[in-house]
Amino acid sequence: MSRFARADRRLSLIQADTFRVVLVTAGSLREAQRLARIVLKERLAACVNLIPNIQSWYWWKDRVTSGKEVLLLIKTTRARLNPLCQALKSHHSYEVPELIALPITHGDLAYLRWVEENVTSSSR
């Protein structure tokens, strides 16, 4: 059963400025899973989606290079953004990990409440 199975099915779209989606790439599925567990365990994120097998092209050390990566889509709050990024940087294998935070401008009220309830400043 989905975590949304008993939720009110009426859409209640609200304007939101306190929520963020953070984009991070990892070099392997194993590393992406490890990073996801770390940020979830520390309640720095409510949800992490892993999108495997993306093809990335980028400049690195004066050369264009490419490789397969895993994209992490991390849902959090503005208040937890800095600790989240610090945790990701300290546990990431890349010398310069991709850490991009995008504001969530609108979202379903029930979902955003769920994010807020699951991203706390202390462990439960």
CATH of residue 82's domain is 3.30.70.120
**pLDDT exceeds 50 at position 96:** yes
**What pLDDT score was predicted for residue 15?**
75
Domains of the chain: total: 1
Q: What is the pLDDT of residues 11-44, one digit of tens each?
A: 777 777 899 999 999 999 999 999 999 999 999 9
**What pLDDT score was predicted for residue 1?**
43
Q: Determine, yes or no, domain membership for 21.
A: yes
Measured CA to CA, the distance from residue 27 to residue 11 in angstroms comes to 37
**What pLDDT score was predicted for residue 8?**
56
The pTM score is: 0.87
- Determine the structural domain holding residue 82 and report its residue range: 14-118
**pLDDT exceeds 80 at position 63:** yes
CB 2, CB 61: distance < 8 Å: no
